[in-house]
Structure 1
Amino acid sequence: MTAKIIDQGVKLRCITRRIVRMCAPQISAIPIFENNYVWVIRPDPSQPDVYLVDPGEVVPVISFLTKHQLLPKAILVTHRHRDHIEGIKEITHHWPIPVYGPDSAAIPQVTHPLIEGDVLRLDDLAFHIMAVPGHTNEHIAFFLPASAQCTPRAAPLVFCGDALFAGGCGRMFDGPADLMWNSLCKLAALPDNTLIYCTHEYTLANLEFAVAVEPDNTAIHERLKQTRVLREEARITLPSNILMEKRTNPFLRCHLDGVKNFVCPEGVNNYSPAQVFALLRALKDNWAS
């Protein structure tokens, strides 16, 4: 399958908005289940049109849309897990809207399949599709470059599901480790100011593990302190950004001696970063803080 451009908007309207609107899209979070977020992308705050990312539960989504008088125009899906797709059927029953997601038989709710290299145009936003397998084989991320937004001051955005978390990463349900490591490296190569909209509020637990991995990393200690304050106040810790993750997320630092020494104190000079990552992920899977 060749890469394609999918245009969901009207070009004339897009050109008009580029003249009158000089702001980045408004992103809101709908908490669902114990620690998930459904992201709501509102390209133009003066208009009711929104796009939903990974709606795993329907009632909170409909409540939020009704309360704020918003109109969903499409759904974006990153991967197949129930807590990311369970609400799609009922949402699309209320609003017959397209569903964009991985080209996978595991997600029959997807009406418009996407692959690496596709560009998804929604309103005047252009999302570049990245394949980031490892957590699951079909996992994709939606990257919105700064150049694809209507203001020179906008930061890039990435909706990465469960591939990369604030301070951590997803478990390897499909793996293998080198595949997941390559996906994390691909995300880490995005511009440093890219805002990371992952789908779980795992930041506190992730950073408690990160401190154990790199006890001398002052950036992790400072971030952990700030995160504790946010969570004590029941505030969201997202979005993060790529630079912060490269400084404090051990799963992006598997090439460094501090992380290598943690996973294998007797020495890992011959271990590749992917091998270190595999050991680190296994330790985190069984970690009790």
Structure 2
Amino acid sequence: MTDSAAEPAPRLPDELRPWIAETGTGTGTGTGTEDADPPKVFVRLPDSATKLLVRTEGTGRPALLVSGPRVRATYHRGKPSVSCTEFRLPPGTVRAVLGVPAVELVGRVVPLGALPGRTARQLAYELGRLDHEGAVARLADLLPDRLPTPAGGTRHALLRAAVTALSVRSDRIPGQVGDVARELAVSERQLRNLFSDGVGLSPKHYARIDRVRAVLAHADELRWADLAVVTGYYDQSHMTSDFRALMGVPPRSYFTGRLPAPGSCQAIDSP
């Protein structure tokens, strides 16, 4: 999936809503700037989500992949012949859907059928050689019957509450990790363990990614100093430092198209 080349998402079947946080489609030809010369550059943003991908090159058969959380942005040369549909798994559902804890997938792109255990291999078999639309329809048939409801369980409820508390929202400033742990009556160590299994990242790194993505989404709406406040930073300097660490360049450079040199696309690895 190429964040900067996103297209309107396909309709999400009602049966998938408890499991799939968001769908999206895109091609491999996003641009970092509107007037960039070929080859164009697309950006993979930092992302706390684990995703199922249906990826097709040219007229070839779709490949079923799993993309783990991405802790920093990467910049790549576009591939016009690549298209991709992604299914973003909500926090706490990765082990149930794929049979592995989310922490094992951080920074990786893995063939679905190559993951250890029966759960992922069976899902890969069921999806088989379906195209994008077929994969969505088949997931709608499979997941509700074979997996427990994501609303059940104390650990899952705690994780979802913590994710909500640490995330940027329009009606409040996100909480600090220590404060959130106290509100949920768990230790910070317990909170880290919950995030490791269900998200793959520490609570602190999850919050950093969420804040930076909020800056990316709302940079044209507020002044830098005001944006820093509403996204939970101490000040504008703190925001700039975090943005540079995750995006590779400070905010002004990014939004004026002064991006890092693009590299080759991440290779697909195996466990």
Q: Please say whether Structure 1 and Structure 2 have the same fold, judged by a TM-score greater than 0.5.
A: no
Taking structure 1 as the reference length, the TM-score comes to 0.27
Taking structure 2 as the reference length, the TM-score comes to 0.28
Q: Decide which structure has greater strand share.
A: 1
Structure number with the bigger relative contact order (C-alpha 8 A, sep ≥ 6) is 2
